[in-house]
Structure 1
Amino acid sequence: MSITVRIPTILRTYTDGKAEVSVAGGTLAEVIDQLEADHTGIRARVLDDDGKLRRFVNVYVNDDDVRFAEGLGTAVPAGGSVSIIPAVAGG
């Protein structure tokens, strides 16, 4: 099943400048594994050393924040989208 992953500007160096890439996967964890297989280095920017989502990275499956769903176990439907959004802070 093809999933569209929206890549933030700061991570596009891993995707050859592409703002969106297509990968396969049934869960967010599988999508991230496929992203890493296709675009080496991106996993370390999304997940911490314990394999959990970094706290300054927000991830949405379709329009749902995965932190309020099943985290990395969140199902990603066929034809769905994943958005990786770095948190913005400051004043």
Structure 2
Amino acid sequence: MSVNVRIPTILRTYTGGQAEVPAEGSTLAEVIESLEKNHPGIAARVLDDQGKLRRFVNVYVNDDDVRFEQGLDTATPQGAGVSIIPAVAGG
């Protein structure tokens, strides 16, 4: 399945400055694998050493937070929008 991935400013160095890039996959894990293939280094910024989503990175498939869905096994239907959003802390 082809999806559109919205890339936050901090990760755009991996995508040549592009704010949105296409990726392939029927699950979020496959989409991240596709991103890594086409934009080396980006997966390490999204996944931790155990291959799980980093604690301070939020990922949405359409409007659904994948942490409340199936995590990396969340389905990514054809044409879905995937958003990678780094958490913002402050006081």
User: Which TM-score band applies after superposition, normalised by the shorter structure?
Assistant: over 0.9
Aligned partner of 1:69 in structure 2 is 69
Residue type at the aligned position of 2:71: G
TM-score (norm 2): 0.99
Structure 2 CA distance, aligned partners of 1:88 and 1:45? 15
RMSD in angstroms over aligned alpha carbons?
A: 0.4
Aligned partner of 2:30 in structure 1 is 30
Aligned partner of residue 78 in structure 1, secondary structure: coil
Q: How much identity, in percent, do the aligned residues show?
A: 76
Structure 2 CA distance, aligned partners of 1:24 and 1:66? 17
Structure 1 CA distance, aligned partners of 2:83 and 2:30? 15
Structure 1 CA distance, aligned partners of 2:48 and 2:24? 22
Once the two structures are TM-superposed, the CA of residue 63 in structure 1 deviates from its matched residue by: 0.3
Aligned length: 91
Structure 2 CA distance, aligned partners of 1:68 and 1:38? 28
Structure with the higher helix share, 1 or 2: 1
Structure 1 CA distance, aligned partners of 2:82 and 2:54? 16
Deviation sequence 1:53-78 (CA, Å, 0-9, x none): 00000000000000000000000010
TM-score (norm 1): 0.99
Deviation sequence 1:31-56 (CA, Å, 0-9, x none): 00000000000000000000000000
Deviation sequence 1:4-56 (CA, Å, 0-9, x none): 00000000000000000001110000000000000000000000000000000
